[in-house]
Structure formats: C-alpha cells, structure tokens
Amino acid sequence: MYYIVTGACGFIGSNLVKALNERGITEIIAVDNLAQADKFGNLADCDIADYLDQQEFIDMVTQGHFDGHLEAILHQGACSDTMETDGRYMMANNYRYSLSLLNHCQEQEVPFLYASSASVYGGGNVFREQREFEAPLNVYGYSKFLFDQVVRRRLGSHAASADAQITGFRYFNVYGPREQHKGRMASVAFHHFNQYRSQGKVKLFEGFDGYDNGEQKRDFVYVADVVKVNMAFLESGVSGIYNLGSGRAQSFNELAVATVNACRSLDGLPALPLAELVAQGAIEYIVFPEALKGKYQSFTEADLTQLRHAGYKNEFFSVADGVADYIRCLSQ
C-alpha cells in the first residue's frame, strides 16, 4: 500500500515526505513536474518507493493502476504562482487535477488531504471557513475556492457523509526549509534573509491602505507546524476544510526584525529593536508598488476555531521563534 504525495518536490510536499519518513513510512510515490529540475534536491535526503511525472500519474490513475493499492493521497501539487494570468492553465492544474484525484479517492475509499489557500478570502478581514467571507482576488484564489465548494457539497451538512476522509487546509503565509526553488514566490522570510546577507538590509513596503511603514500584517506560519497539522489529521481521519495558520497576525516589521536579529546572533552580535535597525539602515522602506494596489492582502489572521474544534490543540511557532529556527537552517 502506497502513500502518494503530489507536488512532492515542492516546498510543503517535500516536508510532508520527510515527515512520513520520520514515522517509518517509505512506501511513498512522489509525484511532481520536474520541468524545473533543481527541485529534485528537496527529496535528496528522503526515501521514496517511486517517482512519477504528474501527467504519467494522472494517466495511471485514470487507467486504474492504483486501485486497491493506496493508503492515502496528500495532494500538494498545484500552480502556486498567485500572479499567473493564464486562467486555463490555472484551472486545469489546480481545479480539474484536484477533482480527478478527489473522485478517485472517494471511489476507492482512500483518505484525501489537500492544499487549499487563504487566498480564497481575498481582501476581506474575516478569515473564517464560511462562504460569506470568501471573495478571491485572482484566478489562483478562485481555483482554490472553486474546489473547496466541491468538497463542501461532497461533505454535505456532516463531514462523515463522505465515503472517505476529505480534508482541506487553507494555508496562510507558510515559510521554512525546502522553499529555495520557488524564486519570487518564496516566503518573505526567505527573501529577507537573502537581502540581508547580500545587501546588509531588508526592504519593506512603505505605509499603504491605512497601515504605517512595514505595519501590514500577515499570519506567518512555520512549515513545521503545517506538517504537524497534516500528520495529525492523517492519523485522526477527520474531514473538513480548515484554516492552517498560526492564528496570530504579525507585521512585516516583526518579521524583518526577527530575520535581522537571527542573522546578527549567528554573527555574534546583539539583538536590536526596530527603531535602531531602521536608524542603522538594516531595515529600509520602499514605495508600495502600483501593480499591487487592489490586489494585496494587507491583513490576514487565521481563525482557528474550527481547527481547534476538530481536535488539534498544539501551539504554533511565533515569528520570532520560527524565523530564528529557519535562519539556522538556511545558514548551515
């Protein structure tokens, strides 16, 4: 019996493969598209049973190759570029692909855990898993939103109505190891680290949309917490759609301070407060881009009520602790 992880060479997918290995599971089929070949490095320290190209995998599923041989599918494969403008590609890759796997898992009574996104909430300021708060701002968010609606209909009024577990996680701003291949779509923490190491400073947006310089806030969640939640639900078998963030909005200033001070600590230097880092030029504010106006979430904070109600009780990393751990990893 196999576990299948789609997007296995990607950021969250590879962390899930590693987590399965740490639980003694190696009968894993890794599915991805290695057109960007250097992603393979994310699996170099992992043990898998086989690797399949995404299209090859879809064909094999359609042909019934895996019937009766699957333990679970952890579906992380998607186009994650929020600036992608090819709607046909986005819907085929994020919506239709997901739908075909969902149908297969229901027919075979196989648990299906998948990646949704906080982008479904758009520019709103209430982040609760209810239809009235969902209004995506781009086709990426819409692709995730539309699939969530299918899942809601399948689950009906009670999660146990599905033939097998269906669990979606609305990821907020995830950061952590194994994201280096993502380029401009990598986390802010990753870019801050590289900016500071190369330029001696971190760049943040000036005030906009009612926020002071660097005070736009996001729910930054460490990938280690994302993995723990996925593993907990895989074990519990609980269905539903859940926010997966830290439940704590923190400013870009806080993230930048955490990044710079983690770097300073590795260099044997003391931590400094925001004002002093700005005064020394270690944090710099730049003009808010015109292209992002009207398309930018200035505030996100996961409402974790449903996640807690489903039984997940662990605490989440703060930005200070999560970023410090991440910077140690990046510096090795």
Mind telling me the catalytic residues? 140, 182
Q: What is the DSSP letter of 270?
A: -
Question: 245 and 304 in contact (C-beta within 8 Å)?
Answer: yes
DSSP reduced 3-state for 175: strand
Give me the amino acid identity at 72. A
* 43-49 long-range contacts, CB within 8 A, separation 24+: 43/8, 43/9, 43/14, 43/17, 45/18, 46/14, 46/17, 46/18, 46/21, 47/21, 48/8, 48/17, 49/2
Question: Which residues partner with 5 through β-bridges?
Answer: 30, 74
Give me the amino acid identity at 327. I
Compute the residue count for the chain.
332
Q: What is 6-72 written as a DSSP string? A: ETTTSHHHHHHHHHHHHTT---EEEEE-TTSGGGGGGGTT---SEEEEHHHHHHHHHTTTTTT-EEE
Q: How far apart are CA 88 and CA 37, in angstroms?
A: 24
The strand pair at 70-75 and 2-6 is best described as parallel
Q: How far apart are CA 295 and CA 32, in angstroms?
A: 29
